[in-house]
Amino acid sequence: MPLLRFDLIEGRTEAELTTLLDAAHEAMLEAFRVPPGDRYQIVTEHKPSRMVIEDTGLGIPRTRNVVVVQMITRPRSQEMKQTFYRLLTEKLEARCGIAPSDVMVSCVVNTDADWSFGHGRAQFLTGEL
């Protein structure tokens, strides 16, 4: 766990999506040292006119390959987050041909009480996790 949400411009094949999600999962495993089965990923695809991702004045070029990742997570250190950003861009570039300039990440941090993985229980609070 974290929960990763991906916003993409529509048009990638199933194989391309699988490779992208696998690469992101590997980056998460390395950066956060979570168990391999902690895999929560949601992909939303948009028409090109429905994703406007500019560069905040940083001179970062964007293409149709842009990937916006929202990571919803328990608290992580700055070092862990920066490691994730680096690994994610490296793996997406190497395995998917996505330029690091086309990867944007935003973290939403919450607490143990904010998670229920099912059965109406907060497993981090009950000790199940």
- Please tell me the distance from the alpha carbon of residue 73 to that of residue 81, in angstroms, as a whole number: 10
pLDDT at 56: 87
Cβ partners under 8 Å of residue 98, min gap 6: 20, 65, 67, 92
Which helix (H) or strand (E) segment is 82 a member of? helix 78-96
Q: Write the pLDDT tens digit of every residue in 4-20.
A: 999 999 999 999 999 99
pLDDT at 31 over 90: yes
DSSP-derived secondary structure letter, 10: S
pLDDT at 55: 85
What is the set of active-site residues? 2
Q: Write the pLDDT tens digit of every residue in 63-104.
A: 999 999 999 999 999 999 999 999 999 999 999 999 999 999
Decide if 70 contacts 108 (C-beta within 8 A).
yes
Decide if 107 contacts 73 (C-beta within 8 A).
yes
